[in-house]
Structure 1
Amino acid sequence: MAKPELEDLRLFLIVVDHGSIATAARVDGIPKPSLSRRMANLEAAVGEKLFDRGANRLSLTPRGDELNTRLRPAMQSVVQALSELDDWHSDYAGHLTMHVPASLLQMGVRQTISAFLEAHPNTQFDLALNNQPIQRLDTDTHLALVIGGLPDSDLIAARVGQTRRILVASPEYLETHSEIAHPDQLHDHIVISPGPHVPLTLRHEDGKNWIQSFEPQFAIDDARDVTNEAIAGRGVAISTTIATTEELEKGGLVQLLQDWQEQPLPISILYRDNRLQSRLERDFIKVLRAELNRTLSDHR
């Protein structure tokens, strides 16, 4: 029989505290299906049911109640020991590797890393610009910033803001090309996007939907380059609010079809459970979350 994993035991206590898989998942930042799977694995390892699953609230079976009684003081001792171990170190040492979409680099990430390095010179950062969807963290990767949908995994996702895809073009381009008053008219223009296949779901303010998988004539992986091509007057760009805010304010770009909107895309920090992190990881993530919550507040 497999032995219970420490992380499953920790999550068990959180579920007990909140009486609900859904609430515990939301509090801990873990996807609900992942938490349900972990509780099923724990019951399999124990060899007995731990929960009676009622309509409104989970209750403990006798075996679950016994596990809760024995486990809780032991887990508190582990947490205290880890905390004391961290306190033995007067400063951080080590390195962090993180993946960041290029469009977010100037939204607080670069500034946070620079300030952290100045305060803690024994740390190192490896920053990988990655515009592709993240499905998991490699062994050597500590955290990632993600725009849009999140993988169904045991990773924790801390939401720090949001953005929205929008259509933009330069004033010069619009002066010499036909009007765009409806999404169907995009087919008459050169469309630039961050990827070869772009599903667009636009909702009009009167409730009508326009849904189409778009095949742009010009696909570039980097959202910044997409925006730059639009600024240069080379076509209509499918970009985001965070990548275009400055140029929209300066007049270098014009937002099109403003009465047609997509749903917001969440921006999240993706990382492993706190119990698997070093003190350096935990504290840097805390600092990064605070900075991104501040810099991305205008895009909520």
Structure 2
Amino acid sequence: MDRLKAMATFVRIVDTGSLSAAAEASGQSAASVVRSLAALEKHLGVRLLNRNTRRLALTDEGLEFLAWSRRMLSEFDEIEHSFDARRHSPGGLLRLTAPVEFGRRYVAPLVNAFLAQHPAMRIELILLDRMADLLEEGLDLAIRIGQLPDSSMVATPLGRTRYVVCASPDYLRHQEVLQSPSALHRHACIVLVPHCREWHFLDRGRAISEAVPVRLATNQVHVARLACLQGVGIARLLHYQIAGELADGRLVRLLQAFEPADVPVQMVYPHSRLLSPRVRLFIDWMAERLGPQIPDPGA
């Protein structure tokens, strides 16, 4: 039994004054209305209406249930109208996470632009370099770089990036030319913890790893990038993190022939069906604008 429908049918019977009038008003057959009322009374275990061929009379339980039904149906209409309004003008809180450096560079400016265009929206942007559990931490979506470990997640592709080895021209002026990953042991290296001593490459399609000597270890991308720019050593960073410095010559790209495969940049969320209007709006808006800003790592 559809209890909400049965409740609405009961209220319509009372309002119209008869089973036949309720059937006509709702577009149902009289028999269907009778079955609905009988099923509702059986489910509740009480008689709601005393009826004969000429009139209907509410029982005490019927009076009580009628008042409660009107209140419930009214509240249901209100929430239904509220959701309908949100579909046309979404509002409310959206919680998302992104990697720290990527979030600073690309996500935060677009979040600000989104909020300017959608005054009914509120956003909580959490920048983390760990893989947050969306369901456990109450997040609506995440922007992630890399393959998804959880196949139950839904992903919207945004772009791609890859790990790039680089150094400043000043550093390279005083060092031998780096011809292959195996020569890294003769250089000073700047690493991001916890990915310390192992750098990964592709050599003619074969995955290889090289242990590198650590001159500087840090957990912050901007610290590693600054050290690289100032000639401390060679760094291995994601392309988007140094695309500007490569383009203007402040950093030089090394070992390009050995770079590993691209990694995807994706928007990730727990499900695709019945997404709230605010989440769907943000996903569509962000996908259109964020993707084109991510530098092409193959260029």
Aligned to 2:294: 296
Q: Within the alignment, does 1:175 sit opposite 2:206 as a pair?
A: no
Query: 1:155 aligned to 2:158?
Result: no
TM-score by length of 2: 0.65
Q: In the TM superposition, what whole-angstrom CA distance separates every residue of 1:123-167 from its partner, at most 9, and x where no partner exists? A: 222211112234554342111111112122422122211101010
Give the Cα–Cα distance (whole angstroms) in 2 for the partners of residues 172 and 232 of structure 1.
8
Q: 1: distance between equivalents of 2:133 and 2:199?
A: 22
Measured in 2, the distance between the counterparts of 1:192 and 1:232 equals 12
Query: Which is worse superposed, 283-292 or 136-145?
Result: 136-145
Q: How many pairs align?
A: 218
Matches of 2:214 and 2:193, distance apart in 1? 8
Name the stretch that deviates more: 239-248 or 130-139.
130-139
- Whole-angstrom distance in 1 between the partners of 2:162 and 2:268: 19
After superposing on structure 2, the runs of 4+ consecutive aligned residues of structure 1 that deviate more than 4 Å are: 82-85, 134-137, 206-209
2:84 partner letter: D
Question: Shift in Å at residue 94 of structure 1?
Answer: 1.5
2:116 matched residue in structure 1: 118
Q: Is the 8 Å Cα contact of residues 134 and 142 (structure 2) preserved in structure 1?
A: no
Q: 2:128 aligns with which of 112, 130, 142?
A: 130
Q: Is the 8 A contact 2:160 2:294 kept in 1?
A: yes
Residue 194 of structure 1: how far off its partner (Å): 2.4
Q: Which amino acid aligns with 1:87?
A: D
One-letter code of the match for 2:138?
Answer: D
Match of 1:192 among 187, 190, 193: 190
- In the alignment, what sits opposite 2:84? 87
- Give the corresponding residue for 1:243: 241
Looking at structure 1, the residues matched to 293 and 252 of structure 2 have their Cα atoms a distance apart, in angstroms, of 23
Equivalent position SS for 1:262: coil
- TM-score by length of structure 1 reads 0.64
Moved more, 208-217 or 261-270: 208-217
For residues 297 and 124 of structure 1, the distance between their equivalents in structure 2, rounded to whole angstroms, comes to: 29
More moved, 283-292 vs 144-153: 144-153
Quick one: which amino acid aligns to residue 284 of structure 1? Answer: F
CA RMSD of aligned residues (A): 2.6
The residue matched to 1:88 in structure 2 has which SS?
helix
In structure 1, C-alpha distance between the alignment counterparts of 2:98 and 2:113, rounded to whole Å: 17
Q: How many percent identity over aligned positions?
A: 28
Q: Specify the SS of the correspondent of 2:273.
A: helix
Unpaired segments of 5 or more residues in structure 2? 1-78
Counterparts in 2 of 1:119 and 1:83: CA distance versus 1, 3 Å: farther
Distance in 2 between residues matched to 1:276 and 1:197, nearest whole Å: 39
Residues 83 and 178 (structure 1 numbering): CA distance in 2 closer, same or farther, change over 3 Å? farther
Structure 1 position 295, deviation (Å): 1.7
1:86 Cα shift? 3.8
Give the match for residue 70 of structure 1: none
Question: Could you tell me which of 217, 220, 239 is aligned with 1:219?
Answer: 217
Q: CA deviation at 1:83?
A: 9.8
Instruction: Identify which range, 95-104 or 245-254, moves more after superposition.
Output: 95-104
CA distance in 1 between counterparts of 2:83 and 2:96 reads: 22
Instruction: Specify the code of the residue in structure 1 equivalent to 2:296.
Output: D
What do the CA deviations read for 1:71-129 (whole angstroms, capped 9, x no partner)? xxxxxxxxxxx998643235332222211112323554223212211111232222111
Q: Is the 8 A contact 1:136 1:153 kept in 2?
A: no
Larger Rg: 2
Distance 1:137 1:232, change over 3 A: farther
Q: Please give the alpha-carbon distance, in whole angstroms, between the structure 1 residues aligned to 2:234 and 2:159.
A: 26
CA distance, structure 2, for counterparts of residue 171 and residue 222 of structure 1: 22
